[in-house]
């Protein structure tokens, strides 16, 4: 049985809040949707996680398109493709793991993850805007003679 008409507005308001927070802060909808579904509406952890992933798809597409249209935002298609490749494999493994773990352990793991990320965000020194263009650890940029560091080699 679905939600009562009185609950519809709560879910719509939750969606608006999740959309604003996701769009403004770049966080996945799960950081808002999962706690709300579990704590406010009594959904099980696994159900809330599954629904948050389904909700994330249209939110992420709309958000990504709007950021892509912003000339101040740099989109690196290659980096995106690499992360998507890893994320697809990771999602397959993660959903299998979630199916096997008890819901209580998942809920606590989710809470610990959010807390660790929050602490890291508060305590980490910000990197420069162009830091992502530098070589990863263990790789040294090499000048190919064109004045740009356009190749890399392992150290």
33-55 average pLDDT score: 93
Percent residues over pLDDT 70 in the chain: 81
Q: Is the pLDDT of residue 47 over 90?
A: yes
Q: Is the pLDDT of residue 6 over 70?
A: yes
Predicted confidence at residue 133, as pLDDT, reads: 55
- Are 2 and 51 spatial neighbours (Cβ–Cβ below 8 Å)? no
Global pTM value:
0.70
What digits encode the pLDDT tens for the residues 133-144? 555 555 454 444
111-130 average pLDDT score: 85
Higher pLDDT, 135 or 53: 53
First to last CA, the chain: 60
Stated as kind and residue range, the H or E segment containing 124 is: none
């Amino acid at each position: 049985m679905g939600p009562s008409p009185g609950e519809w507005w709560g879910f719509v308001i939750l969606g608006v809040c999740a959309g604003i927070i996701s769009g403004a802060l770049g966080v996945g909808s799960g950081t808002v949707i999962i706690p709300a579904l579990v704590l406010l509406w009594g959904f099980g952890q696994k159900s809330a996680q599954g629904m948050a992933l389904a909700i994330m798809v249209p939110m992420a597409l709309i958000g990504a398109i709007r950021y892509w249209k912003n000339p101040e935002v740099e989109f690196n298609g290659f980096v995106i493709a690499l992360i998507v490749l890893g994320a697809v494999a990771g999602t397959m493994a993660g959903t299998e793991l979630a199916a096997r773990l008890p819901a209580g352990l998942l809920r606590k793991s989710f809470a610990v993850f959010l807390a660790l990320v929050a602490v890291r965000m508060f305590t980490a020194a910000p990197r420069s805007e162009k830091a992502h263009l530098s070589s990863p650890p263990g790789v040294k940029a090499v000048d190919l003679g064109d004045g740009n560091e356009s190749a890399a080699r392992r150290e």
